[in-house]
Amino acid sequence: MKQVNFGVVVFPGTNCDRDTFWVLSEVCKSKVRYVWHTETSIDDLDVVILAGGFSYGDYLRSGAIAHYSPVMQEVKRHAEKGKLVLGICNGFQILAETHLVKGAFLHNKTQHFLCQKQHLKVATTNSPFTGLYRSGEVIQIPIAHGEGNYFLPQKDLEEALEHDLVVFRYCDENGVVSQDTNPNGSTDSIAGILNRQRNVLGMMPHPERSSEFEMGSIDGKRIFEGIIQWIQSA
């Protein structure tokens, strides 16, 4: 069985790196190492994860300064090789700033930081990250963000819909997707989206916070398990 090597990138201000490391190493029993933001070699990794937090204090825009970190050039090359990249919350914002996924982020429509349990509807299972879900399934993964209002221009939204790039949408417990069930105002209630090559996923909810029964949900665990299964079966 192929060993899957994960790397969790740590920027100054990252604060979900240990949570993510714990889930990968102790829950999923995978090999994982921390990747400092100044590193310039990540060739040993199969999967790079940009964890949540407030990289560089989220000055300017969330993720904007992290875009210039040396490691991000390596992350781009990693993605160009077809290897997997997962950006969670602030990691999603960094992916947008580096154009590894399209779109940009605005302040939540409420203008308040949101930290809550959140229902999501699985929009596609056609990705290395979502193979263990069912299309249309309602899952629960928490959110914690102040700038989670994902904006996607109409042209890019049409492309995303045409190519089945939307992975998760915000919904209620019954799977209803509407502005009332959209906590932050994101375009088309998008909570997670792929790049065109389908090897990069950006998502605002925190799967590492829903990977153990003690946390109230294990729905997020299937993302990490799905990644492992996809690589091992490739």
Q: With a cut of 90, say whether residue 61 has pLDDT above it.
A: no
- Which one, of 102, 109, 106, 108, lies nearest residue 154 by Cα? 102
- The pLDDT of residue 63: 87
pLDDT at 60 over 90: no
Spatial CA neighbour of 98 closest among 146, 56, 66: 66
Report the CATH number at residue 94.
3.40.50.880
Helix (H, G, I), strand (E, B) or coil at 18: helix
Mean pLDDT of 113-130: 96
Q: Quote the pTM value.
A: 0.96
User: Both tokens of residue 171?
Assistant: 């919904």
Catalytic, 147? Answer: no
**Contact, 129 vs 197, CB < 8 A?**
no
CA distance 183 to 165: 21
* Average pLDDT of span 157-164: 98
Average pLDDT, the chain: 96
Domain residues for 82? 5-233
User: 89 catalytic, yes or no?
Assistant: yes
Calculate mean pLDDT across residues 170-193: 97
pLDDT given for residue 234 in this prediction? 79
Residue 16 has pLDDT above 90, yes or no: yes
Question: What pLDDT sits at residue 58?
Answer: 84
* From 89, 119, 145, 171, active-site residue: 89
**Distance (Å, whole) CA 48 – CA 67:** 15
User: Per the structure, how many domains does the chain have?
Assistant: 1
pLDDT of residue 173: 96
Q: Using alpha carbons, select from 183, 179, 105, 101 the residue that is nearest to residue 142.
A: 183
| DSSP conformation letters of 52-86 | -B-GGGG-SSTTTTGGGSHHHHHHHHHHHTT-EEE
